[in-house]
Amino acid sequence: MSAPLPATTMNRVEPISVEEALAIVLDAVGTTEVVEVPLHDSTGLTLAADIIAPGSLPTFRNSAMDGFAVRSLETVDASTVRPVVLRIAGTIMAGDAPWNGPLDAGSAVRVMTGAAIPGVCDAVIRLEDVEIDRDDIRLARSITAGEHIREIGSDVRAGTTALEAGAELSWASIALLTSLEISSIRVHRRLHVAVISTGDEIQSNAASGLSIPDSNGPMLMTMLRDCGVDAEFLGVARDRQETLESIIHRAPHADAIVTSGGVSAGDRDVVRDLLATRNARLFSQVRMKPGRPFTFGLLGRVPIFALPGNPFAAAATFLQFVQPALDRMRGRRINEASRSVAQVADRIENPSPRRLIVPVRIDAGNGRFPVAHRIAESVAGLALLARADGLLVIPESVRSVNAGDTCEFWSIH
């Protein structure tokens, strides 16, 4: 007869691969509904439909330089030995009405950057390229038609796609849409995500003097806000299921919940226990270091990302799972922009089959890729992350990378 298994063995689960875990997460989360918002409230949101330019940019031909608008044909013979002399017929400032009058042969019009170009002119010569002699200018070289002129539609042509659905509204897209005189747009509603820290040892809970500040709470709030998310901190839960439940109830409208701590296999792993009793867990434990205890579930329809308490593990699993899930939820293409490639400066071992995340500093190197230097092993904990430029990602299938090998790299700034 066999003895009953100890509780910890009964609870043991086999960690799954990062790829499998990410697929489960992305499959479980939904995209928020589409709403119309004023452009000035749209930063960080995702466009829900293509923007077709209602007009062209620029809307009128204008000068790209301070200089003189000319007819290029009149400059073809210009050279240093035989400069062409043109008479200054007048000045047009940016914002002035267009030059409607005729322009005598052998004349030029002084124009400021952004000024409308007289219809008969087809090029602008820069101020610094002429010699001014009272009412005349002297040109020592010829100008080609179109030089320094911004043609109508050269930036955006009316009727073409100015921005595609799925684009994030950044400062650059806000500027573009403002130029197109678009003042409200259809976007995916802003996500509202609740953050909970857990642990009896976290300062606001601890009875003893041996407490630690809640660094995960502010870290995760900042990471969420950097993702354009409306983040709400719900508090620090004691390691009791009732306190965690009551804190979760404070955010009935959250689109997602991000917790940290309480998901390993200790006696008081409150998040793990809550998800187990509510039968909400879709998986727990991934083959990733740090971050193995990462657990994901659905409380009703609300995704809950249960990050490990160790701050580096919490950050790494946030970047690995929460960030792509948020992108999916807000209708955005999964953001690959911060994920690139770096060359490894020194050999890195990955002794067991799991994704290894290594904080590194980066220098420009002199090859095709930036070079990643592992931070001295003597630096640990939060100092490690704060000093890092980014994280190297060694895949589960790779036992070691050698100096000069390339590797996936996530910038963390």
Candidates 44, 58, 118, 199: give the one binding Mg ion (CB under 5 A).
Answer: 199
Whole-angstrom Cα distance, residue 104 to residue 106? 6
Per DSSP bridges, beta strands 371-374 and 339-344 are parallel
The entry of Mg ion, ligand AMP, none that residue 197 binds, CB within 5 to 8 Å by partner kind: ligand AMP
Residue 108 has what DSSP assignment?
Answer: E
Q: Is 284 in the site for ligand AMP (CB under 6 A)?
A: no
Nearest approach in angstroms of CB 386 to ligand AMP is: 14
* Of residues 316-335, those binding ligand AMP (CB under 6 A): none
CB of 287 to Mg ion, least distance (A): 22
State yes or no: residue 235 binds ligand AMP (CB under 6 A).
no
Amino acid at 175: A
For every residue of 309-365, DSSP letters joined together read: SSHHHHHHHIIIIIHHHHHHHTTPPP--TTEEEEEESS-EE--SSSEEEEEEEEE--
Interaction of residue 266 with ligand AMP, rule CB under 6 A:
yes
Among 214, 255, 327, 389, binds ligand AMP (CB under 6 A): 214
Using CB under 6 A as the binding rule, whether residue 291 contacts ligand AMP is answered as no
Note whether 261 binds Mg ion by CB under 5 A: yes
Decide which of ligand AMP, Mg ion, none touches 46; Cβ closer than 5 to 8 Å per partner kind.
none
- Give me 80's structure tokens: 């240093």
Choose between 261 and 293: whose C-beta lies nearer to Mg ion: 261
**Alpha-carbon distance 256 to 329, whole Å?**
10
How many other CB atoms sit within 10 Å of the CB of residue 243? 18
Instruction: Decide if residue 311 touches Mg ion (CB under 5 A).
Output: no
Q: Does 297 bind Mg ion (CB under 5 A)?
A: no
Tell me the window of 68-76, 126-134, 307-315, 351-359 that interacts with Mg ion (CB under 5 A). Answer: 307-315
Q: Which CB atom, from 104 or from 267, has the smaller least distance to ligand AMP?
A: 267
**How many residues of this chain interact with ligand AMP, rule: CB under 6 A?**
19
Pick 29 or 196: Cβ nearer ligand AMP: 196
Backbone angles phi, psi at 316, to 5 degrees: -65, -40
The reply on whether position 262 binds ligand AMP by CB under 6 A is yes
Q: Could you tell me the smallest distance in angstroms from the CB atom of residue 198 to Mg ion?
A: 6
With vertex at residue 243, the alpha carbon angle to CA 239 and CA 244, rounded to the nearest 5 degrees, is 75
Which residues, including other chains, have CB under 8 Å from residue 85's CB and lie 6 or more apart? 106, 133, 136, 137, 138, 139
Quickly list DSSP for 31-78. Answer: PPPEEEEEGGG-TT-BBSSPEEPSS-BSSS-EESSSEEEE-GGGGTT-
For tokens 């799954």, what's the residue? 16
Verify binding: residue 386, ligand AMP, rule CB under 6 A.
no
Q: Which does 166 bind (CB under 5 to 8 A by kind): ligand AMP, Mg ion, none?
A: none
Rule CB under 6 A: say whether 215 interacts with ligand AMP.
yes
In whole angstroms, the minimum distance from the beta carbon of 209 to Mg ion comes to 18
Chain residues that interact with Mg ion, rule: CB under 5 A: 199, 261-262, 309
